[in-house]
Structures are given as C-alpha cells and as structure tokens.
Amino acid sequence: MLAGLALVTAWVLVFPRTVPDGPGHLGSLLETFLPWLGLAVPLLLVLALARRSLTALVALTLLSAAWLGRFGGALPPPGPAPYDLTVVQHNVSDENPDPAGTARTLMAAGPQLIALEELTPSALPAYRAQFAARYPHHVVHGTVGLWSVHPLRDVRPLDIRPAAFGADWNRGLRATAVTPHGGIAVLVAHLPSVRLGPTTGLGSGPRDESAALLGGAIAAEEREALILLGDLNATVDDRGLAPVVSRLRPPPPSFALSWPAAFPLARIDQVMTRSAEVTRLWTLPATGSDHLPVGARIRL
C-alpha cells in the first residue's frame, strides 16, 4: 500500500493533467499546491522504515526523483544573472493600513516598473506621493496601476471582465514602456478571486473566463516584447491559466511563494514575458497586504 501511494503521487507530479477537473475543479486545486506533494516523501519514508519495506523504499526513490525533476531547479540558490530591467508586482490589498510604508518597501528593490492591484481611492494619493520623485510616469485604471521610470505610451484599458461582472469591474491595463532597449508592452492584470468551499470545491469559473480573455489580448498584442505583471489568482501549473501560460514564457522554477503573506503556500502573483526572460524571481519583505510583493529581473 505504501509503495502504491508513492507511485500514484509520483504519477500525479509528472502528469497532473491526468487528474480530471470535473465538478469542483479538483485538478486546478491540485495543481495550485503541486509542490507540496513533496511532503509525502518524508511521511512515507517514516512509514516505510517502520514497516521495513524495501518495495516502498524503491517506490519512494521514484517519487523523490519525480519531485526533483519538476521542482529541483528551485533548490539551488540563484546565482548572478544578466538582466536589463527590474520589476515589482504587488497586490497591495484594499485593507492595507500603511500604503506609504508599502510603497517604500517596493522602491527598496530598485525596480524600473511597479505594478499594483487592489488600489483604492483613499490609498491612491499616498502611493502617488511616495512614487512621485522616482517614478514620474504612471497610469491607473480601476483598481490596477503601473508606475515607471520610463515614459508610458499607448495606454489603454485591458478588457478581462467576465460577462457576469458589472461595468465597474476594471482590473486590467496595457501600456508601452519606452525604455533604452526599445518599446515594451506591459500588461497589468488582476484576475477574479477563486473560492474554496466544502461542497462546491474550487470556484474558479470567473477566473478561468478572465484568463481566456487575457490570453486573447496577449495573442493580439502587436509588440513582440511583452511583460505581464499581475495577481492572477493562479499558479503557472494551474490548468485554468493555460490560455496565458501557453503564450508566454513562465519564470524559472522558484519557491518565491506570495500568498498568503503570513504563511505562503502558492505564488499567485506572476511575472511572465514574451521575447524576454525572467532571470531571477524573489519575494520582498511583507507589507500591510495579505500578499507578499514579487520582484523579478528581466533580460530583454
């Protein structure tokens, strides 16, 4: 039985899409927390040693290899890598009690681009005041915003609103950052939240619909160089985000988990690129938000 559990877990790690989504979106839920399946290794190891089961130990070797093959690249400390741009992505929370302190934390990373979600009218003046000297160019649409050291051109809303949502739901924008390396399309997006219930499972329908719209916008973007920054309420392994991930280059493997801030379990705050490469991804110190900020270095 222990060997069977180890082999089934290894199979799920390597082929998570074989788990059907079905009612409750079990497949998406599993993919959200896929790295945590590695906890099965020490648990089953203790049981296998207690039972003195050689068969279980052999199966655990295969499980360990499956986990390392998928997530082992995130274990070595990142070494120096060339980059042209530093960016920061942060859901600042609409209940953040210290927007000014949050802004200072984000600036400490030295980014050229800062994308924010869950901006509120009451907090916006504090962010504008803190960013003004270093980031003279910015745009805000609905509850998302982008601050830049470089000029921003061709700014427009990004329509990722699910059909059932009201017209006041505005969580996307698109701009061209005019950098010394040329114009770069920058998309900022905040996909709908998911809800987990004991009878409904993972309620991800609106998020998946919004992800499909975002994927369509990426496909239609005329500029080749593109950076997507946002709280996508999904990990890059989640099949619900496939319309986006299939069109972009995900970041390298990393355990820079961003949510919840008190005990991070998943990285749902994303930095992805096209015709560019994220060479390093890390989390910044906690702010007054329930998300951790995510920083990234990008080579164009």
- What is the tens place of the pLDDT at every residue in 33-85? 999 999 999 999 998 889 888 999 999 999 999 999 999 888 877 778 899 99
Same domain assignment for residues 153 and 189: yes
Residue 80 lies in a domain: no
Phi, psi dihedrals of residue 91, rounded to the nearest 5°: -85, 105
- Domain hosting residue 268, numbered range: 85-299
d(CA 268, CA 257): 8
Same domain assignment for residues 118 and 262: yes
Same domain assignment for residues 24 and 101: no
Q: What is the pLDDT of residue 36?
A: 94
Q: What is the pLDDT of residue 233?
A: 96
Q: Which residue has the higher pLDDT, 100 or 72?
A: 100
Residue 272 lies in a domain: yes
Same domain assignment for residues 154 and 247: yes
d(CA 25, CA 73): 28
Q: What is the pLDDT of residue 20?
A: 86
Q: What is the pLDDT of residue 257?
A: 96
Residue 211 lies in a domain: yes
Same domain assignment for residues 52 and 118: no
State mean pLDDT over 84-110: 98
Same domain assignment for residues 49 and 99: no
d(CA 228, CA 85): 13
Q: Which residue has the higher pLDDT, 27 or 142?
A: 142
Same domain assignment for residues 165 and 229: yes
Same domain assignment for residues 221 and 259: yes
Q: For 183-238, how does the pLDDT look when each residue is reduced to its tens digit (9 = 90+)?
A: 999 999 999 998 876 655 678 899 999 999 999 999 999 999 999 999 999 999 99
Same domain assignment for residues 34 and 107: no
Same domain assignment for residues 166 and 30: no
Q: What is the pLDDT of residue 212?
A: 98
Q: How confident is the model at residue 271 (pLDDT cuts 50, 70, 90)?
A: very high
Q: What is the pLDDT of residue 201?
A: 62
The alpha carbon of 284 is separated from its chain's Cα centroid by a whole number of angstroms, namely: 14
d(CA 289, CA 262): 10
Residue 274 lies in a domain: yes
Instruction: Dig out the tokens for 206 from the structure.
Output: 């609106």
Specify the CATH number for the domain of residue 212: 3.60.10.10
Q: What is the pLDDT of residue 51?
A: 86
Q: What is the pLDDT of residue 199?
A: 54
State mean pLDDT over 258-281: 97
- Structural domain total, the chain: 2
Residue 100 lies in a domain: yes
Q: For 132-188, how does the pLDDT look when each residue is reduced to its tens digit (9 = 90+)?
A: 999 999 999 999 999 999 999 999 999 999 999 999 999 999 999 999 999 999 999
Position 11 pLDDT exceeds 90: yes
In this prediction the pTM is 0.93
The secondary structure element, H or E, covering residue 67 is: helix 54-71
